[in-house]
Amino acid sequence: MLFAWYLSFSATRLDRLHHRVETSWEHLDALLQRRAALALEIAHHNDLDPALDMLLTASAYESREAPMTDRDEAESLLSESLRMIRESVAAGDIQIKVALIDRLGDITEKIRVAISIHREAVTAVENLRSKRIFKVFHLAGRAKLPFRYSFEDDQL
């Protein structure tokens, strides 16, 4: 009886964590989409050199159009190009509308927070699911283990 209660309690716990991963990912994804839109705006409004322009445009486009499995590279590329833009603006090498740069700084900060929240949720699920009782009793059902993307390691 007690054991049955424990099983049900554990399953609920896991379910709650799974749900948390989903929400944190949705939040992160929405921010990434906003970043892509902002990147396109920056690319259109300033005469950056064509190589940087091309990387920015192509990766922003990819971020918005590609299926998630292909997006990892694009998000990394976007992080990298945008970091170069912010550094160049700080060094006075290029000029970009102050409003755009402010929004970029803002969204980068939000993405940084969103990534750390999402990672924390993923780690919690992984820890819980590695316990034997979850494996033996199939408490996770057919839910897939949450996926870690390599762009989450990028320096923003």
Binding site for other proteins (CB under 8 A): 45-47, 49-55, 57-58, 60-62, 65-66, 73, 76-77, 80, 84, 88, 93-95, 97
Closest CA to 121 of 11, 27, 3, 4: 27
Q: Shortest gap between Cβ of 137 and other proteins (angstroms)? A: 35
Cα separation, 98 vs 89, whole angstroms: 10
Please name the residues in contact with 122: beta carbons below 8 A apart, sequence gap of 6 or more.
21, 146, 148
Neighbours of 57 (CB within 10 A): 18
Q: Shortest gap between Cβ of 39 and other proteins (angstroms)? A: 11
HSE value, Cβ hemisphere, 13 Å, CA-based, for 82? 33
Residue 150 in contact with residue 76, Cβ under 8 Å? yes
Residue closer to other proteins by CB (options 87, 106) is 87
Residue closer to other proteins by CB (options 93, 106) is 93
Residue closer to other proteins by CB (options 55, 115) is 55
Q: Shortest gap between Cβ of 94 and other proteins (angstroms)? A: 5
Residue closer to other proteins by CB (options 54, 145) is 54
